[in-house]
Amino acid sequence: MATPTATAEPPVAPARTRAPLAWSTAALYLGVGLIVLYCLAPFYWMLVSSLKAPNTIFDNHLLPVDPSPENYRAVFGGRNNFGYALRNSLVIATTTTLIALSAGICAAYALVRLAVRGKRAVLGAVLATAMFPGVAIVTPLFQLFARLGWIDQYQSMIIPDVSFALPLSIWILHGFLTDLPWELEEAARIDGCSPGQAFRHVLLPLAAPAVVTTGILVFIQAWNEYLIASVMSQTLATQPVTVAIAKFTGESQFQQPFGTQMAAGVVVTIPLIIMVLLVQRRIVAGLTAGAIKG
């Protein structure tokens, strides 16, 4: 009697790796790398150009052949008075940020928490003012401020900057405050807090990421503003860095100080980079607030 023989099972094929997933990950990293390269390339070229001597400023080397601090010495030389411009920009940008944040957080809180009719219309009007081109109001603003005697004064630049920064502040803070747990405010009210105390001691600390994010964006916007400042500032007393860089002069009237302007651009940009890096976690938290609900 023949014994049955066991049939050999076919070998199991190894599981295939998910090639589409690997390709999508590689494409994602490639896309992020290209975006980072696109964003950092101008700053890198500005940094390299600032370290070149005037006679080599127009070469195409990706690295300076003979790095020289000559352009940075020229930036802070007595002729350019760049220190005054840094002071003016700091005063204008800081004041604009504080006013825009104070008014923006109050307006956003009122639109979210208080029973106000036509909230959508108000937000639409705020967005409409943000889209209004600044070049269209330069001449009327100049005539108005000239009658008030405000030309070459800080307020002639702070007030327009606040008007352009306030819509951004209201929109960012409104979106964040909408997602805050209002039960905490109600609990504070039950414990005896007034509406103002509940707002300052409970809601405002929770809104810190959005406030920091808004403050950074408003500060950068005011720091980089040029159009209004070029018309309103007439002397070194109020001239910000954007106008000062545009008015740099070379060794002669026919020489354009490209290297000095590049060095000044690096000096102006580095404080913004440091400020963003120091508070990057709060910026990410503020920008992503409300994106995930669960």
CATH code for the domain in which residue 108 is found: 1.10.3720.10
Residue 275: domain span: 82-287
Length of the chain as a residue count: 294
C-beta separation of 237 from 92 below 8 A = no
* pLDDT score of 8: 52
* pLDDT score of 275: 82
Q: Is residue 17 one of the residues assigned to a domain?
A: no
* pLDDT score of 291: 47
Distance, CA of 177 to CA of 164 (rounded, Å): 21
Locate all alpha helices (DSSP H) within the chain, ordered by sequence. 19-50, 70-75, 82-113, 119-130, 138-148, 155-178, 183-190, 195-198, 204-206, 208-223, 227-232, 241-246, 258-278, 280-287
Q: Is residue 153 one of the residues assigned to a domain?
A: yes
Q: Is residue 97 one of the residues assigned to a domain?
A: yes
Q: Is residue 247 one of the residues assigned to a domain?
A: yes
pTM, whole model, 2 decimals?
0.81
Distance, CA of 266 to CA of 220 (rounded, Å): 15
Place of tokens 């204008």: 92
* pLDDT score of 177: 84
Q: Is residue 28 one of the residues assigned to a domain?
A: no
* pLDDT score of 290: 47
Q: From first to last of its 294 residues, what are the pLDDT tens digits of the chain?
A: 455 555 555 555 555 555 566 788 888 889 989 998 998 888 888 989 888 887 788 887 888 778 888 888 888 876 778 889 999 999 999 999 999 999 999 888 888 887 777 788 888 888 888 787 888 889 999 999 999 999 999 999 999 999 999 998 998 888 888 887 778 878 888 888 887 788 888 888 888 888 888 999 899 999 999 999 999 998 888 999 999 988 887 655 556 788 888 899 999 988 888 888 887 776 666 555 544 444
Q: Is residue 2 one of the residues assigned to a domain?
A: no
* pLDDT score of 286: 56
**What is the three-class DSSP state of 23?**
helix
C-beta separation of 53 from 39 below 8 A = no
* pLDDT score of 241: 93
Locate all alpha helices (DSSP H) within 179-291, ordered by sequence. 183-190, 195-198, 204-206, 208-223, 227-232, 241-246, 258-278, 280-287
Q: Is residue 237 one of the residues assigned to a domain?
A: yes
Residue 291 carries which DSSP code? S
Give me the number of domains the chain comprises: 1
**What is the three-class DSSP state of 191?**
coil
Which tokens belong to 150? 């405000």
* pLDDT score of 282: 66
* pLDDT score of 160: 93
Which tokens belong to 191? 């414990």
